[in-house]
A and B are shown apart, each in its own frame.
Chain A
Amino acid sequence: MSRREGAGADATPRRRFSLLAVLDEFFFVFAGVAAVWLAWLLLTETFQLGWWGIAMAVAFWVLIAYLVLPRIHRVLTTIYVPDYFIGRTRTSDGLLGDPINLALTGEAAQVHQAMRTAGWTQADAVTLRSSWRIITSTITRRSYDEAPVSPLFLFGRVHDFAYQQEVAGNPAKRHHVRFWRTPDDWLLPGGARVDWLAAGTFDRAVGFSLFTLQVTHKIDADTDIERDHIVSTVRQHNADARLDILRDFSTGYHSRNGGGDSIRTDGHLPVLDLRALPVGAEQPASAQLGSDAQRAEVRND
């Protein structure tokens, strides 16, 4: 990895193999093992504390679902999930996430403009503040149009930005689509060059995932509906947007996402060409956010 990166501008490629890096990996794995042991301790305590045992059982579940399993997944998926493009995003634990079902060409500003014109709202970044706002808006049942989306990874990095549409009066349901800028000179399988890849799915409910034991959004299995919804809203409101379709791009992919939801698709990959869109007519205030994320682009893919 650092051998590949060594070709780049980074003058310190060798440091990746330093003792500190090795120690880091060791602590990463050791912490996972220790957490398993802690879970076991909590579980055995659960049966000995009477009513307090219920609190311990909850602590056990939180520990397992949010700390132990993610850490184990992280360690294992680092080893066996390939790191190249396979048409799927990955969750922060390294599991397979939502499918890539949309591609775009054009500048960041054009993408932002196309989405905003089409009635989409850019999602906030996940921060303490936005997390708190999710909680308060859920309790008070107020709408939070810019609610952040969970991070999904492609090309080894989190999405550059995400857009969403609320479903009236229902915070559990929403349309959302995440965007990643493709690395320079990167080609899709089959050879097409696109600037952006996107994963659009529809959250249909909040539920309990038997896969990760976490409370997550359940997505609609038919990802084509959401994909076509994005494409149609963008085309409807942007006369200059052109559409190509890579037919049967991912027809073979019928599987589950990281939360265990199944996915069905006809496999077509629409490529929205936004290069003809006039930029500057409406400079999106949030375009800055997207370009910040792009600056952090990985250099080795």
Chain B
Amino acid sequence: MTESVRKRSAIEPAEALLGRDAPLPQIRKRPITTTLGATFVLWRAVAGVLWIAAFGLIWFDEAHADGIDHPTAVTVFWIIAVAAGIGVLVLLLFAWLVWRGSNLARILVMAALTFSISTAAIAHFAGAEQITFRTTLIIVALDILVLLALSSRDARAWSRQTREHGRRA
């Protein structure tokens, strides 16, 4: 028994904190945070569709005012609308994947949200953008709420476990 006693650091390495509460109980039901996260991503997709519609409503007047001729304006509209449409489809795909319990999709969505929030924050603190209720507060708030939901312990535990179960199967 004494053989196994060796000098070791009295301070726990910081990395030990990383996976510390990983062995959470097996959750068989989808946690509400995962559902919320997937729903919010779905809302973002719906918001994207609305954005395309709103863009279509004002773009042609704007283009006309800026002296852009009609065929060019139509082309530009379709390029932007298709790009935004692809974005909407990607959001829909991710909403579905998160809802299914894909851990990678959850991480990727969180990465995108982090980027989006950081951009808004930097713009805000640099004084370039005023974030108020009338401008982008709702979007920033939704981003942060989704990030909170998707990074919560039970959402993590559930999607990790589906990942591991999927591999075992």
Contacts and interface: CB of A to CB of B under 8 A. Distances in A.
A17 B17 CA distance: 10
Contacts of A139: none
B127 interface: no
B29 interface: yes
Contacts of A17: 15, 18-19
Interface string B96-118: 00000001100100110010010
Contacts of A32: 148
Interface residues of B, number: 39
B151 A24 contact: yes
Nearest to A5: B23
Interface in B59-95: none
Given A38-B140, A295-B26, A1 B147 contact: no
Q: Is the interface of A mostly helix, strand, loop or mixed?
A: helix
A300 B131 contact: no
A52 B133 CA distance: 10
Nearest to B24: A157
B147 A34 contact: yes
A169 B132 CA distance: 47
Contact of B114 (A27, A56, A298): A27
A75 to B, nearest CB: 10
Contacts of A211: none
B5 interface: no
Q: How large is the interface on A (under 10, 10 to 19, 20 to 34, 35 or more residues)?
A: 35 or more
A5 B21 CA distance: 12
A21 B18 contact: yes
A34 B150 CA distance: 14
Contacts of A128: 32
A22 B132 contact: no
B22 interface: yes
Contacts of B18: 16-17, 21-22, 25
Among A24, A25, A28, A30, max chain B CB count under 10 A is at A24
A204 interface: no
B144 A21 contact: no
A25 to B, nearest CB: 6
A1 B16 contact: yes
Given A74-B153, A299-B23, A20 B103 contact: yes
B107 A1 contact: no
B141 interface: yes
Nearest to B117: A34
A31 interface: yes
Contact of A48 (B25, B132, B143): B132
B147 A38 contact: no
A12 B168 CA distance: 11
Given A38-B141, A45-B133, A128-B32, A31 B147 contact: yes
A45 B134 CA distance: 10
Contacts of B143: 34
Interface of A: 1-2, 5, 12, 16-17, 20-25, 27-28, 30-32, 34-35, 37-38, 41-42, 45, 48-49, 52, 56, 67, 71, 74, 78-79, 83, 127-128, 156-158, 293, 295-296, 298-300
21 contacts: A17-B19, A31-B110, A31-B147, A32-B148, A34-B121, A37-B121, A38-B140, A38-B144, A41-B137, A41-B140, A42-B137, A45-B133, A71-B148, A78-B17, A79-B17, A127-B29, A158-B25, A293-B25, A295-B26, A299-B23, A300-B23
Interface of B: 15-26, 29, 32, 103-104, 107, 110-111, 114, 117, 121, 131-133, 137, 140-141, 143-145, 147-148, 150-153, 156, 164
